[in-house]
A and B are shown apart, each in its own frame.
Chain A
C-alpha cells in the first residue's frame, strides 16, 4: 500500500482534506546540496578506507575460531591486560610519551600547504577547520613553538578570520570556532607577535556576542551555556594576560556567570536554573576556568577546587572513549595541583580509539591534538 491508495480508503470529506494537506506538505522548498558535498564525502570515505576498520568475516581459519581456541585467547588477553596494567602503574615518568611524539609527527604530516588542517582528511567535519587548525597548532607548539609548521598555522588562522573578527561561516558552530581559535591566538602570541591584531579583533567579537548576563550561547534567547562560556573565559583570560585590554570586562562578567552556575556541593548546570549536569567534561572545564582564569579573584579558586573534589580520576570504564572529557579532566586536575590524578587519567586515555565520542566530528585530529595538549606542561 502507498499513501495514494491509503487516501482512497477515507471518506470523500477526509480525502479532500488530506489531499490538500499532502499537497501543502509537498510544497516544502528544499535546499540544494552544496557543490563540494560529494568531494567531502568521498574524502572522508577515503580516510575510512585507509583505516580499514571493517571487520573481515573470514579473518581466522575455522580451527582458530573454535571455542577452545577463543577461550585460550581470552585468558591470554586477560593475562596481557593485567601485565599491561601493572607496567603502567609502575611507570612513573612524566616525560612526553612516545605516543604523543608519534601523534605530533602525524599531525605535522597532515598540515595543508596553506598551513591549515583539513578536518575531512582526518575523518571530521569541514565546518571545524578553524578550531581544529587552532588545536593542531597548539599541539605542535607544545613541542616547538617557533617551528615552521606553527608559523604556517598562525598565518592560516589569520587568513581565516573575517572582517568582523569571526572565524568560519555563519551558524551555530561559529561560537566554538571563535573561542577555540581566540584561545590559540592568545597562547601563540608570545612567540608570534604578528597575531596581535587578529587576537584583538577576535576578542572584540567575543565581547560583542556576550549576553547581558555574562554568558555565551549559540541558542537564540539563551543567556549562556556553561561549556561555551568556560571556553570563552579561558580565551579572554589568556588574551588579558597578553595585554589585550578589551578582554578585561567580558572576562569578569563571564567568571561571574560561571560562579553562578555552580552549586555549593560542587555540581554545575548547563543553563542557569537548569538541572544538574552529570557531564564530567562540563564540570572539569568549569573547574579549570575558575582555578586559572579566576585565580586572582577571591573565592573562585576555592569553588573550582570544590568541583574537583567531586571529580573522579577514573575515566569512565565501560563508557565510550571521550577525548574531550579526558582532556578537560587532565587540565583541571593539574590546575588544582592534583598531578597524580591527572597522570592517572592520562595513562588510561586512548587518544586513537576508533569509537571516540567526537570521532565523527573532529576525527583523529581532534583527539590527537587534545592528547598532546593535555601532555604539555
Chain B
C-alpha cells in the first residue's frame, strides 16, 4: 500500500487494519492524510514552535493505544481525542517548566510557522488572529478550534471534550462574545482583561 492509497479506503478501515494486523503501511496512509490537519489543530490551540513534535506524539499514541480504537467511532474523533490529551499534557508540562521542573524545553527547533510566513501583511494577520484566540481560556478556545476551524458538529465536540452538547453551545456563545468585546475595546484603545501585549 502506498501513502496515497485508494481514497475509497476509509480511515476507519485503515485503522482496523492497524489494530488487527499492526499494519504500518495502513498507518502511513493515515499519517499522510491527517498530519496537516493535526498540525493546524495544534497551531490554533496555541502551539508556537513545537507543533510537529506534538503531531508526532499524537500519532505515536494512536499507534500505542490502537487496541482501544472502537470500530463504530469515527477515526477523526479518535484522533482529536488523543490530540486533545497530548495538548493537555503539553500545557501541564509548560506549567511544570514555569515551576522549574523541566530540564529540556518542550518546544523544539523546528519553527515552520515562522519559516512559511514571508510577507508583513501575512504576519500581522496571523498575530491579530492569534491575539484574539489568546483572549480565551483553553476550555473556550478548544470549542472555537473544533467548531469554527474544524467545523465539527457540536455533539462530536462534546464527545471530544467530554462535555454535554448544550455546554458546547453556551461556551461557543461566550467565546464569540468575548472576542467581539476584545475587538471593540481594542479598536477604541480601552484595556481589556486578559489582553496580551
Binding site for B on A (CB under 8 A): 1-3, 6, 17-18, 21-22, 24-34, 37-38, 40-42, 44-46, 48-49, 53-55, 57, 125-128, 131, 168-177, 218, 225-227, 268-271, 274-275, 277-279, 281-282, 285, 324, 328, 358, 360-362
Tell me the nearest residue of chain B to A27, going by C-beta.
Answer: B125
Residues in chain B within 8 A of chain A (CB atoms): 3, 22, 24, 27-28, 31-32, 35-36, 39-40, 43-44, 49, 51-53, 55-57, 59-60, 63-67, 98-113, 115-117, 122, 125-126, 128-130, 132-133, 144, 147-149, 151-155, 165, 169, 172, 176, 179-180, 183
**A29: which of B122, B169, B176 is its contact (CB, 8 Å)?**
B122
Please indicate the chain B residues that have their CB under 8 angstroms from the CB of A28 in the complex. Answer: 43-44, 125-126, 129-130, 149
**Known interface pairs A2-B154, A170-B109; A45-B24 also in contact (CB < 8 Å):** yes
Q: Which residues of B contact A17 (CB under 8 A)?
A: 180
On whether the beta carbons of B104 and A29 are closer than 8 Å, the reply is no
Contacts A6-B154, A25-B144 hold; do A42 and B31 have CB atoms under 8 A apart? Answer: yes
> Of the candidates A18, A34, A270, A282, which one forms a contact with B98 in the assembled complex, judged by CB atoms under 8 Å apart?
A270
Q: Tell me whether A173 and B109 are in contact in the complex, defined as CB-CB below 8 angstroms, given that A21-B183, A40-B56, A279-B100 are known contacts.
A: yes
Is there an interface contact between A127 and B24, defined as CB atoms closer than 8 Å?
no
Contact B99 A46 (CB under 8 A): no
Q: Given B59, B122, B128, which contacts A45 in the complex, CB threshold below 8 Å?
A: B59
- Interface pair A54/B67, CB less than 8 Å apart: yes
Output the least CB separation between B154 and chain A (Å).
5
Instruction: Evaluate contact between A225 and B126: CB separation under 8 angstroms.
Output: no
Taking a contact as CB atoms under 8 Å apart, the answer to whether A279 and B99 are in contact is yes
Instruction: Tell me the bound Cα distance from A274 to B101 in angstroms.
Output: 13
Contacts A40-B56, A57-B67 supplied; 5 other A-B pairs, CB < 8 Å: A25-B179, A33-B36, A45-B59, A128-B104, A218-B105
